[in-house]
Structures are given as C-alpha cells and as structure tokens.
Amino acid sequence: MGFWKHIAVGLPAAIGLLAWQVPGVDAASVQADTVQNPNTQNAQDLGPASAGETITASLILKVQNEQGLENYIQQTETPGNPNYHKFLTTSQFAAEYAPSQQVIQQIVGDIHQLGLQVDQVDADGLDIQVSGTVAQFDNALNTTIDNFRADGHEFRAPKHVPHIPNVLLNSVLAVVGLDTEQAAQSLTVKSPNVNGASSPQVVLPKSGSTATNTPGSYTVGDTANMYDINPLYQKGITGKGETVGIVTLSDFNPSDAYAYWSGIGLKTPANRIREVQVDGGGQIDAGSDETTLDVEQAGGIAPDANIVVYDAPNTDAGFIDAFYQAVSDNVADSLSVSWGQPEIDYLAAMNNGVDYTDELAAFNQAFMEAAAQGISMFAAAGDSGAYDTARDFPPSDGFTTPLTVDFPASDPYITAAGGTTVPFSANFQLGAVNIQKERPWAWDYLQNLGYTGLFPIGTGGGVSVIWPRPWYQMGISGMQNSASGQAFTDSQGLLFGTPFTYQLPANFAGRNVSDLSMDADPETGYLVYDSADGGWVAGYGGTSFVAPQLNGIAALIDQFTGSRVGFINPVLYGLQKTLGYGSDKPFNDLSDGSTNWYYQAVPGYDPASGIGTPNVANLAAALKWLH
C-alpha cells in the first residue's frame, strides 16, 4: 500500500460485507507520535513539507442503514419484485441512505473550526472534499506532514497517525488524501518479446470493414464478430442516447480516440467525449495509454454513445473521489475501471499492523450507490493469473506468490472482467502454438515451449479472502472456497525492514472472480492508437480491454431494452442457471481444462473464465424479455 493512505479514525470502520471487522485505533486517546508509519524505515525523509503548500483530503461519510441498502439493491435486480429496476436518483439515494443535511452541516462546521476549508460536498452526501495548508493540517490533526523519497520518486505523507476530534468519528468512515503515493496500477499487457517472435505488425481494416481478422491487430469490429454484437448493430442499436463512463488515474489526448475510430472506418459523432478532472485530474504519463484504450474500446463498441471520462490523480483520494464524483453525477449509465491492486494489500497483516480496510469500505459504498441508481459497473480482473500479488511482489525479489485476486474487481457490487485467448496459430523459435478453442488467457502455452519469465501472466481469477460470497453466487455450481496453504512471505524484509509472513484464510467462502470473460491475450490482442507512442501500436492486451468492452456492451443493451439494466451480476448468474450455454443462448462455456495458472476451465462456472463469454445479441434479448 505504500505510505499512509488514510487517517486512522477512532471507531472501527463500518465495512459491511467485509469478512471481518478489524479493531480500529481510538484516535482520541492516541498521542501523535505513538503509531509510526510502517514504511518510514524504507524511505528517505526529506523533511517537512512546505508549510504554505495547499493540500486536499476527502472525508468519506458512512452510509446509513447499510443493510436496508443491500436489500433494496437485491430487490432492484430480482425479476418479479415490485422494486425491480426501480432505480434511485442521486437525491433519492442521499435522502434515504446518506447522513442528514443537519448532520452534514454539523460536520462542515466542525471542519471549519479545525481551520480547514470545505471545498465540495458531493450530491450524494457521502464525500466531503477539504483543503488547507500543510501547516493547517499539521495543527488541526496534530501531525507532521513530510516529503519522502523512495524507489526513485518523491511524495508527501504524514510521519505518524494524525489525531482527529471525536466529534467527527460517528459519521466518518475514512479520511484519505494526505499523501501522494501511487494508489493503483493499470491492467494492460503487451505481447512478450520472446525468441522467434517479431514485434506485432500493425494491420488496419480493409475498406468497408471495421475488423482486421488479424490476431494482435484486432479492433472493436473483431470483438463484434467474436461475441455476436453485429445483430444489434443491424437493428440500429449503437448506444445512441446512452452515456458510458470511464474512471481512470491518468489524463489522455481525446484526439487519439477519434483517430482510432476514424482509422478503422468507424463513424462516430463529433465532440462525444467530455472530461471531468477530479481533484485536479490525472497526468499525461505512463498510464495515459490505459485511459486512451479504455475510451477507444468502450466508445468503439457503442459508437453513438456519449463518453464521460473521470480522470483523477493516482492517489488513494483521487481513486475514491473519482468513483464518488461519477455516481453522484449519475450521468453515466455504465462505468468501467481498468486500474487496481491486490485486495490483500489493504489488510493490516500486509502493512505492519496498519489497517486500510476502511478504504475498501469507502469504495464499496460508492459501488452500492451505483447499483441502487442502476449504473452498471465493470472492473478488470487483473493480468497476473490466479496470483495477483506477483506483479508487484515478484518471486525474484524473495516474495512468495499466494492465490490472490485484484480489487476493485473482487468487490461484490462490480462485474469482474476476465480474459481469454481466442483461437490462433503462430510459429516461434522454440516451437509452434495452435490454440483451437477459446480458453482462459495464460501464457503457460509459451512457457510450455521453453520460454521463461512468463509466470503468472494471464487473466485474473480466484476467490476473495475479504468479501464473502454474495447472494447471486449462492447455489452456483463451480464456486470455490479459498485454498489452504496460501501465505505471502517477504523473505528479504524489503517492505518493512524485517521478513514477515501473512497466512491467508483457508476454506473461506468468498466472492468468486471473474464474472464474464472476453479476449485479452496480447498474442490475440488489439490495436491502440496512441500519439505519444507514435500512433498505431499492435499487440496490446490485458483484462483492461474487457472492462471497457463490457461497458460499451452495456450501453447497447440499455438502448435495446429501453432503460438501464443496472448492476448486472444477479441477472447474469440467473440466466446462466436457467438458460445455460450454446449458440442460441446468452453465454459460451469455456471448458477445455486449461487454466489461468491454477483454476481449470470446466463445464459451467469456474474462476478461470467466470460464467464464460457472452453471446451479446442473445444476452440482450434475454434481458429485454425480463424487462
């Protein structure tokens, strides 16, 4: 997790569906210097931040009647229930589930008494943005905010747990934003540079087509061919009147998206992209290609939909605020995110005793609000196979690789987007590959040729050890419990100066990831137009493609059915049970026995591929029938 991600509040976090409650620190009784930053010993303290520097933080308030909210969400996605698809407006949500205006005004007054400024209270009544100088925050919270250097970059963070007044504790779930450490990674992968494999060549569609039929240069036109989207286009369903939203942590050049659509021969409206820069917005940086491809894919699948991009700084506050801004605006009918990190990174056992599960609860509240308002949400499941920590903590550095899943994909109120490899043949220096059936994406087929350094690149998927199995996965054949014997070990003490081991819970009946899958293997991957990378680039992949593709598909289905379909997981699992698989059914089953480095693709549900892949036109027809 890096440096402090939040202020330790004085009451245990109200973490709802989380598997356990972690005792909180009583901030009212903690002296400012008693709890040290767990990473201080591994970073160079550059001294106090400039006293006059203005910084911002966000107070996330607790949802009221969380159980009632959970029940209402279930009702809105239960066909035949009187509340089926009776989604709330933002003001209705705030009136029913946010703190009262009287309580919010009291909190605002308390913040002012601390010498800080309230900049914004989101319309949903759950996110309050606060600003002040470093000196004002130091004084108000009895802390010292310093600048640090670690791993070649500098950032700002409190040296120790700040002290906040008791008066805020009853209503505040989490306070985030006093640091500027990176919060998440984009989930994008490029084709590997292995012996005998030339760099992927850019192939553009021929005149009259938007598809290339070329692995590594696939476009949204190829996606439409693979997953039965074309029958919707033939009926005039193009996402017109719908809005897709992208939550991201880097800025981008919107002209790249227009160049992509134009370059593949796709007609789209002008000026369809609107940017909302949350907390000042993200930067043009290494993550900008993620934002670019998210917009290109979602907007290409739904070529007449409007697009709103919520870009924020890559910090804890930026990531959380972007979601709260998006759901408070309630403009996007569907949202996708292709950034994340291992869910266990938030646990105290992974942070030298410092608990960050209040952040998980803060995210979860935003996702529950989205569900109550009928916003479909999709998150990339990760690109490290069944071993999500391996990307950040590789075995080569002395870390073990336990079975783990990525967040926010593991949250029960978001649809986790998994990845596949579609059929292709290729010759490499060490041998030939001939994949004849779509399978879960894992580069074990390259490792089997003798190539090294590829473990465990592939689709994320597995079992959460934090979120219990949600109601819509109950009774679904193929669900797994967490495996035994899984431990995260830092054998060299690289994180906190001394070695440690965290033993993951065994046999926990957790949320299973993924839910739906589509092509994500860079070897059968995609074109991206990115001017910062010279224009057209082939060989992109990762589950970060699948999340925005599903986002665009949701826009098509919303237009086809005539209204928002909302949080789609309960209906997906219901359709899998009742209608099943086949060319005339909503889903294709992946069951060839291949793996995502651990979980096997078997008939029905499995964590390697989720329910399977969508037959989009059939899925849309089934959802319209339920309407």
If pLDDT is split at 50, 70 and 90, which confidence band does 164 have? low
Structure confidence at residue 30 as a pLDDT band (50, 70, 90): very low
**How confident is the model over 498-540, as pLDDT tens digits?**
999 999 999 999 999 999 999 999 999 999 999 999 999 999 9
| Between residues 16 and 78, the one the model is more confident about | 78
* Residue of 36 and 374 predicted with greater confidence: 374
Amino acid at 325: Q
Structure-token match 């900049």, residue found: 119
Q: Following DSSP, what letter does each residue of 376-424 receive, concatenated?
A: EEEEE--SBTTBGGGTTS-GGGTB----B-EETTTSTTSEEEEEEE-SE
Mean pLDDT of 282-309: 97
Cβ proximity of 544 and 248 under 8 Å: no
Give the CATH number of domain 186-190+217-479+509-626: 3.40.50.200
More confident residue, 32 or 620: 620
Q: Which of 283, 280, 331, 285 is nearest to 307 (CA)?
A: 331
Dihedral angle, C-alpha 350, 343, 365, 547, nearest 10 °: 160
Q: Residue 528 has what pLDDT?
A: 98
**pLDDT tens, 592-605?**
999 999 999 999 99
**Distant-in-sequence, close-in-space partners of 156: CB < 8 Å, separation ≥ 6:** 49, 55, 145, 146, 147, 148, 178, 179, 180
Q: Is the pLDDT of residue 24 over 50?
A: no
Q: Tell me the residue type at 149.
A: R
pLDDT score for 7? 36
- The first and second tokens of residue 2, run together, are 């890096």
For the stretch 376-396, pLDDT in tens is 999 999 999 999 999 999 999
**What is the DSSP-derived secondary structure letter of residue 178?**
S
The string of pLDDT tens digits covering residues 403-455 is 999 999 999 999 999 999 999 999 999 999 999 999 999 999 999 999 999 99
pLDDT at position 14 over 90: no
Q: What is the pLDDT of residue 187?
A: 84
pLDDT at 226: 98
pLDDT over 90, % of the chain? 81
Of the two residues 161 and 444, the one the predictor is more confident about is: 444
- Cα 585 from Cα 623, distance rounded (Å): 12
CA distance 570 to 562: 19
Given 3-state DSSP classes, what are the helix, strand and coil percentages for the chain, each rounded to the nearest 5? 30, 25, 45
Residue of 465, 461, 437, 294 whose CA lies nearest to 386: 461
Answer yes or no: pTM beyond 0.85: yes
Count other C-beta atoms under 10 Å from residue 102's C-beta: 8
**Cβ distance 539 to 190 under 8 Å?**
yes
Report pLDDT for 306.
98
Q: Could you tell me the pLDDT band of residue 142, with boundaries at 50, 70 and 90?
A: confident
Which helix or strand (DSSP H or E) is residue 318 part of? helix 316-329
Beta bridge partners of 434: 425
3-class DSSP string for 519-552: ECCHHHCEEEEEHHHCEEEEEEECHHHHHHHHHH
Note the pLDDT tens digit of each residue in 321-339: 999 999 999 999 999 999 9
**pLDDT mean across residues, the chain:** 91
Cβ atoms of residues 464 and 347 within 8 Å: no
Q: Average the pLDDT over 111-131 and give the result.
A: 95
Q: What is the pLDDT of residue 31?
A: 29
Provide the pLDDT for residue 158.
87
The confidence score (pLDDT) of residue 196 equals: 65
Give pLDDT tens digits for 342-357: 999 999 999 888 888 9
State the amino acid at position 165 in one-letter form.
Answer: P
Residue 200 scores a pLDDT above 90 = no
Domain locations in the chain as residue ranges: 6-63+98-181, 186-190+217-479+509-626
At residue 205, does pLDDT exceed 60? Answer: yes
